[in-house]
Structure 1
Amino acid sequence: MAVDEYDADATELLEAYDFLMKYIIIGEAGTGKSCLLHQFTHNSFKEHSQHTIGVEFSSRTVNLGEKRIKLQVYEISSSFICRVPNKSKLWDTAGQERFRSVTRSYYRGAAGAILVYDITSRASFANLSQWLADARALASPHLVTVLVGNKSDREEDREVEWAEASRWAAENNVHFLEASSLTGDNVEAPFLLCTRSILLAIESGSLDPEKAGSGVSYGARALRRVNSSSRLSFGSLSGNRRKSTIKLRLPGTGGKCC
């Protein structure tokens, strides 16, 4: 075997995964969605971040138990740029509707949603119900949603209390935690929590990755196990193999982490 062929096979093996999952990040402009995604995928804060226009895409492969999962993440903007031809300062409202139609198309087939608000902005918290309604109407019927209160490092500027957001999450049957895209605190947690919930749904049989619109598909590693008639075991999903402790605040736990 040639060296180039050997390197290609090694790369393919390293990048192999058991499942591919589609996630969306949604919420009002200015809540730090882009910074949250950048911190998750690059492990660093995104300096001089500008409002996303349209959709930003990124991906990362994570490990849970014995499973390797590739996450395809779409950060969907609530901002748009569309001007009337030859009148650069006038907004085209028809263009706005077209923009919304295009961006909402990315909701389809999403298995997980990261719903973000800014703990220092009550306005960003006020419209959560609409964002959640859109996601549940357009994404996978088995959509797993995690509410994230971003900018937890700015406690002195807080306008939305943790208890209030926790109640909202419990009432709307979504998970909840706070994070900081600046410091990286708890940034991985919502993505891993989503992934763990989806894996458990697959294991229980309530979610079928082969069904269209599930937002999940088998990767090469899983298909090899199926072809060899091996049982798809999820290993330790309880977190016993994690290298570090991730604090997850779930609704109904009284603020405790697990």
Structure 2
Amino acid sequence: MATAGPYNYSYIFKYIIIGDMGVGKSCLLHQFTEKKFMSDCPHTIGVEFGTRIIEVAGQKIKLQIWDTAGQERFRAVTRSYYRGAAGALMAYDITRRSTYNHLSSWLTDARNLTNPNTVIVLIGNKCDLDSQRDVTYEEAKQFADENGLLYLEASAKTGENVEEAFLDTAKKIYQNIQDGSLDLNAAESGVQHKPTNSRGTTTITTDQPVNESKCAC
């Protein structure tokens, strides 16, 4: 995926979004990048991609966000995208306990396939459907705390906490850069500093298939 145009940012952070099918991963991405909610989206086939430039501590940062399919039959394909991720947003649906119960499996993949410093954030999506809640905030917060994850509940529909989910991840990654725990020279860091050409980034390989459709839950 080539990156064209002038570089008006200091860093590129690679993100992945993971979790069961139908939890709203693509809708979270679309809400963050387009400020819109897409209802009745088809399910992601393989992987989709989005970008947005944000600002953290006065530094402009380009987020390259890979939205992975949640269906088991695509797991072999999507696992290749974990490699070199600086941040991983792991989503579940607060109204469907099965999607919460599968988090341990998703977290195992994330821990095994990303680098030790990858920032993993747990997102309880669809908090606008609180009356249909099947997983309590306290239960999910305890799971997050026990596994060293950032945690928040969000709504891709209303936009609640969507911005915060992506920004809090970036702030933590930036903090790791500043305190030296993230080695920018490591190929798997998921971060590139001050790009100098328009041929793309070292963290993304061009032979990976991309589905360019706008949104898919």
**Per the shorter chain, which TM-score range?**
0.7 to 0.9
Correspondence 1:57 to 2:49: yes
Alignment match of 1:187 (pick from 162, 165, 170): 162
Alignment match of 2:35 (pick from 31, 43, 48): 43
Aligned-residue Cα RMSD (Å) equals 1.3
The 3-state SS of whatever aligns with 2:168 is helix
Correspondence 1:22 to 2:14: yes
Alignment match of 2:24 (pick from 32, 36, 45): 32
CA–CA separation in structure 2 for the residues paired with 1:138 and 1:214: 12
Structure 1: gaps spanning 5 or more residues? 1-10, 81-95, 222-258
CA–CA separation in structure 1 for the residues paired with 2:130 and 2:180: 42
The count of residues paired between Structure 1 and Structure 2 equals: 192
- Residue 169 of structure 1: aligned partner: 144
CA contact (8 A) 2:24 2:125 kept: yes
Identity of aligned residues (%): 49
Correspondence 1:149 to 2:124: yes
Structure 2: gaps spanning 5 or more residues? 197-217
> How far did residue 16 of structure 1 move?
1.5
> How far did residue 103 of structure 1 move?
1.4
- Residue 214 of structure 1: aligned partner: 189
CA contact (8 A) 2:31 2:162 kept: yes
The 3-state SS of whatever aligns with 1:147 is strand
> Which ranges of 4 or more aligned residues in structure 1 deviate by more than 6 Å?
none
Query: Highest Rg: 1 or 2?
Result: 1
> How far did residue 102 of structure 1 move?
1.9
Query: Residues 108-146 of structure 1: CA distance to partner in whole angstroms, max 9, x if unpaired?
Result: 000100000000000000010110110111112211011
CA contact (8 A) 2:22 2:70 kept: no
CA contact (8 A) 2:13 2:64 kept: yes
Quick one: which amino acid aligns to residue 202 of structure 1? I
CA–CA separation in structure 1 for the residues paired with 2:116 and 2:147: 15
Instruction: Kindly indicate whether structure 1 or structure 2 has the higher relative contact order, using CA contacts under 8 Å at least 6 residues apart.
Output: 2
CA–CA separation in structure 2 for the residues paired with 1:47 and 1:165: 26
CA–CA separation in structure 1 for the residues paired with 2:54 and 2:194: 13
> How far did residue 48 of structure 1 move?
2.4
Quick one: which amino acid aligns to residue 149 of structure 2? V
CA–CA separation in structure 2 for the residues paired with 1:20 and 1:165: 30
User: What's the TM-score once normalised by structure 2's chain length?
Assistant: 0.85
> How far did residue 100 of structure 1 move?
2.6
